[in-house]
Amino acid sequence: MAKGSKREYVWMECTECGDKNYRTEVSVVAGAPKIELKKFCKRDRKRTVHKVRRK
């Protein structure tokens, strides 16, 4: 709906090796998003915590 709402693409960065493995769209209306997700990291070959990395 709300066109032009504050959304931007960010990278989900592995906290163990620093690889940026996933790209996602987040809402930044309330400021910098703080999102942590367990995602599979190809380099570590296991699920690790990924954090949002804004440009």
36 near Zn ion (CB under 5 A):
no
Q: Which of 20, 43, 46, 54 binds Zn ion (CB under 5 A)?
A: 43
Task: Residue 42: count other Cβ atoms within 10 Å of its Cβ.
Answer: 10
- Report in angstroms how near the CB of residue 18 gets to Zn ion at its nearest: 7
- Report in angstroms how near the CB of residue 2 gets to Zn ion at its nearest: 35
What residue ranges bind Zn ion (CB under 5 A)? Answer: 14, 16-17, 19, 41, 43-44
